[in-house]
Amino acid sequence: MRRIRILQVGDIHYPDWHFVASDVDAKDQKFSPAISENLRSSAFRAVLRKLRHLALSDSMHGVVFVGDFSSRGKSEFLEGAFRHFSLLCRGGGAASRTIPLLFVPGNHDVNRKDALELGKIEKFRMISQLAERFGWQPVPLDRPIAVSVGKTECPTEILLVNTSIGSWELQNLPGFLRDKLKTDDWSTPIDLGSPVPVDDGPAIPTAIVPPEKPKDLIDQYYSQLDTPYVSAPMLNSLMEHLLEAKQAFGVIVGHHNLLPQKTPRISPYAEMLNAGFVRTQLLSACKPILYLHGHIHQDPIEVVSDPRKLGSQVVSIAAPEIAGGFNELILFITDHDDLVGVRVIPYRSRPADGTLVEEEHCFIPASLNSRTALDSNAFALLSKLKQYRVDRDRDLLFWNELSDLFQPKLADNILEDTLVMLHSSQYIEIHGLSRSNKDWKIQVKGK
Ligand SMILES: [Fe+2]
């Protein structure tokens, strides 16, 4: 079994990222503020330090940036972000290495002027050129880009998709909104009409709040006129890749969420326009598919499947905004190129104390019919586990007991791989899978 390690980095919004300093309980105001400043630390710096450390590690196979590098798609911001993260993830001098850096455009990477003047594909040309200049993987424009990571003799393919083609495309908007946006008059908010009165019982008195004049209407509309979707050519091409017989599973990266976000959102385009259709198409591939995204600044992990389509599974994994941390993903892949599962390691910041913590890992078994992929060693181990359970009359077994079960002893990595396969196939349950294998407690299911 091989392991593919990738880092998933969420929205950056360079240079509007937040250096929140840690708390200092400064009770006595007579002390110089300089003392407090010397005592403060920043969780954000801890995030960048950890990201650098992991990206430079030899066993890391790629870093995936899920979009919204910049704010308002300004070229100087985009260039700054590409430069900053090239240096951060590849180091310099002797430590320099060429780890693949992958990027998909977010709605905030779209420049309004470019969108109006260049059109829905050409507006990404500058991003594409920057990626090339800094030695990143090609950026998806109107078709997905397939990037291979891992060893050249057994590469793993990651498909990059552009979900921001509709961002700032005025033709996607209702006429009254389009006409307003074409003018340079941003002094008053767009009138979206009066609310329709709804008879749902006695009115609840509310405080009268004078309407607030938005500070910058262009900024306000930037996130609202997102119009995210996966275009038909993009989706068709994506499905062609996924349906190839050699592809036993898929890894897709896009900026926008496929599933509705947790926080209710009031916006002209609150969610991806064709998310349901895309999801249905992905499920129709009847393969495990990982979908990595950002955009919502939250970090849900959700799994969708269709019980009528054997093997169908979409695992949606979001990364938080970079100030909140990032994810490390470890894909477990058999020698037959089947995905056994993915482990998500969340690194999350604690702004109040300026630190970064490695939170509880999450192991998601892939939907593949891995029972058929189990080899004779796995079944031999399973029958020994069952016999051991009977002999000892105990439900939970420990790692050190297992490693003594086989004579001659199995190598630790083979034992670990076999147990992960059995766990994924639901023959056993590994309690503490997120921790070191020495801490695992193994429970055999069934008789
Ligand atoms: Fe976004």
Q: Please tell me which residue, 334 or 236, carries the higher pLDDT value.
A: 236
Indicate the SS3 state at residue 206. Answer: coil
Residue 96 has pLDDT above 70, yes or no: no
Asked if residue 237 and residue 331 are part of one domain, the reply reads yes
Residue 7: partners with Cβ closer than 8 Å, 6 or more residues away: 51, 54, 55, 60, 62, 63, 64, 326, 327, 328, 329
Residue 35 has pLDDT above 60, yes or no: yes
Asked if residue 46 and residue 66 are part of one domain, the reply reads yes
pLDDT of residue 191: 57
Find the range with the poorest average confidence among 9-13, 20-24, 161-165.
20-24
Q: Does residue 151 belong to any structural domain of this protein?
A: yes
Report the DSSP pairing between strands 288-293 and 313-318: parallel
Q: Does residue 184 belong to any structural domain of this protein?
A: no
Q: How many CB atoms lie within 10 A of CB 172?
A: 19
Find the range with the poorest average confidence among 212-216, 262-266, 429-433.
212-216
Summarize the confidence of residues 231-251 as an average pLDDT.
93
Residue 187 has pLDDT above 80, yes or no: no
Asked if residue 336 and residue 425 are part of one domain, the reply reads no
Residue 267 has pLDDT above 60, yes or no: yes
Whether the full predicted model's pTM is greater than 0.85, yes or no, is no
Ligand 1 mean position, distance from CA 293 (Å): 10
Q: Does residue 173 belong to any structural domain of this protein?
A: no
pLDDT of residue 303: 96
Residue 22 has pLDDT above 50, yes or no: yes
Asked if residue 239 and residue 135 are part of one domain, the reply reads yes
Q: Using CA atoms, how far apart are residues 323 and 10, in angstroms rounded to an integer?
A: 9
Ligand 1 mean position, distance from CA 56 (Å): 27
Domain count along the chain: 2
pLDDT of residue 270: 72
Residue 284 has pLDDT above 90, yes or no: yes
* CATH assignment of the domain containing 147: 3.60.21.10
pLDDT of residue 111: 87
Find the range with the poorest average confidence among 70-84, 180-194, 217-231.
180-194
Ligand 1 mean position, distance from CA 352 (Å): 26
Ligand 1 mean position, distance from CA 364 (Å): 26
Which residue's entry shows tokens 């969108």? 115
Using 50, 70 and 90 to split pLDDT, how confident is the model at 135?
Answer: very high
Residue 224 has pLDDT above 70, yes or no: no
393-409, pLDDT tens digit by residue? 887 888 888 777 776 77
Asked if residue 56 and residue 124 are part of one domain, the reply reads yes
Asked if residue 161 and residue 295 are part of one domain, the reply reads yes
Ligand 1 mean position, distance from CA 256 (Å): 7
Residue 204 has pLDDT above 70, yes or no: no
Mean pLDDT for the chain overall:
84
Summarize the confidence of residues 226-242 as an average pLDDT.
94
Q: Does residue 198 belong to any structural domain of this protein?
A: no
Summarize the confidence of residues 275-301 as an average pLDDT.
96
Asked if residue 163 and residue 109 are part of one domain, the reply reads yes
Asked if residue 157 and residue 131 are part of one domain, the reply reads yes
Ligand 1 mean position, distance from CA 128 (Å): 18
Q: Does residue 204 belong to any structural domain of this protein?
A: no
Ligand 1 mean position, distance from CA 414 (Å): 42
Ligand 1 mean position, distance from CA 228 (Å): 9
pLDDT of residue 339: 92
Ligand 1 mean position, distance from CA 289 (Å): 22
Asked if residue 146 and residue 266 are part of one domain, the reply reads yes
pLDDT of residue 297: 93
Find the range with the poorest average confidence among 110-119, 350-359, 398-407.
398-407
Ligand 1 mean position, distance from CA 5 (Å): 25
Summarize the confidence of residues 222-244 as an average pLDDT.
88
Which of 370, 389, 412 finishes a domain? 370
What 8-state DSSP symbol labels residue 428?
E
Asked if residue 305 and residue 246 are part of one domain, the reply reads yes
Rounded to 10 degrees, the C-alpha dihedral 179/181/186/187 comes to 30
Residue 264: partners with Cβ closer than 8 Å, 6 or more residues away: none
Q: How remote is the C-alpha of 337 from its chain's centroid? A: 22
pLDDT of residue 201: 56
Q: Using CA atoms, how far apart are residues 81 and 83, in angstroms rounded to an integer?
A: 5
Asked if residue 158 and residue 143 are part of one domain, the reply reads yes
DSSP element (H, E) containing 340: strand 339-350
Quote the domain boundaries for residue 391. Answer: 374-444
Q: What residue type is assigned to position 338 of the chain?
A: D
Ligand 1 mean position, distance from CA 68 (Å): 5
Ligand 1 mean position, distance from CA 108 (Å): 6
Using 50, 70 and 90 to split pLDDT, how confident is the model at 213?
Answer: very low
Summarize the confidence of residues 263-291 as an average pLDDT.
89
Q: Does residue 399 belong to any structural domain of this protein?
A: yes
Angle in degrees, 0-180, between the axes of helices 275-284 and 232-243, rounded to the nearest 10: 20
Cα angle for residues 304, 308, 311 (degrees, 5° grid):
60
Residue 271 has pLDDT above 90, yes or no: no
Q: Does residue 175 belong to any structural domain of this protein?
A: no
Ligand 1 mean position, distance from CA 267 (Å): 13
Asked if residue 298 and residue 393 are part of one domain, the reply reads no
Summarize the confidence of residues 171-196 as an average pLDDT.
62
**Highest mean predicted confidence (pLDDT) among 40-49, 172-181, 289-298, 379-388:** 289-298
pLDDT of residue 211: 47
298-345, pLDDT tens digit by residue? 999 999 999 999 899 999 999 999 999 999 999 999 888 889 899 999
* CATH assignment of the domain containing 379: 1.10.10.10
Ligand 1 mean position, distance from CA 264 (Å): 16
pLDDT of residue 99: 92
Q: Does residue 206 belong to any structural domain of this protein?
A: no
Ligand 1 mean position, distance from CA 34 (Å): 37
Residue 190 has which token pair?
């767009």
Q: What residue type is assigned to position 261 of the chain?
A: Q
Which of 331, 346, 370 finishes a domain? 370
Which of 370, 405, 434 finishes a domain? 370
Q: 3-state SS of the chain: helix, strand, coil percent to 5?
A: 35, 20, 45
Find the range with the poorest average confidence among 205-209, 348-352, 416-420.
205-209
Ligand 1 mean position, distance from CA 297 (Å): 8
46-60, pLDDT tens digit by residue? 899 999 999 999 889
